[in-house]
Amino acid sequence: MQKTKVLIVEDNIDNYELVRFLLEHSGYETFWAHSGREAITMLKTERADLILMDLSLPEMDGWTATERIKSDPQTKHIPIIALTAHTLPGDRKRALDAGCDGYLSKPMNLELFAETIEQVLSKAKRKRKSGPIL
């Protein structure tokens, strides 16, 4: 069976290593983009079942990258979870307004991390099953 493949968009290598470790430990396959622009480029050739999106990124921030991914018919079905230290009031709403399907704040709560990923993935799966086949 094919492993669920997660794109980690993160410019901080320590955060990236931690997220990659947690995901691979849970049986997910991962790949890495260090900016919003790189994420969009990679999605043209690589399959992703889920995106974990940092918001403060070089070249193109996570809000903009999310909007682009969600407005492209080729990639709009991919669920996106914002993963960010932006925990000011309104940041959560701004991430969801940009099209994110979920939101996790740093530093991470490990239980919530796993739970949110499972929820967002199963919701996306249900949506694909009931939606029109494009």
To the nearest whole angstrom, how small is the minimum distance from the Cβ of residue 113 to Mn ion? 17
Report the residue number, 11 or 67, with the smaller CB distance to Mn ion: 11
Cis peptide before 89 (omega within 30 of 0): no
**Cβ–Cβ < 8 Å for 77, 43:** no
Alpha helices (H) in 3-131, listed in sequence order? 13-25, 36-43, 62-71, 91-97, 110-130
Nearer to Mn ion, 56 or 71 (CB): 56
Size of the site for Mn ion (CB under 5 A): 3
Q: Which residue is nearest to Mn ion (CB)?
A: 56
Q: If binding is defined by CB under 5 A, does position 56 make contact with Mn ion? A: yes
Using CB under 5 A as the binding rule, whether residue 122 contacts Mn ion is answered as no
Q: Note whether 49 binds Mn ion by CB under 5 A.
A: no
| Interaction of residue 54 with Mn ion, rule CB under 5 A | yes
Q: Contact positions toward Mn ion, by CB under 5 A?
A: 11, 54, 56
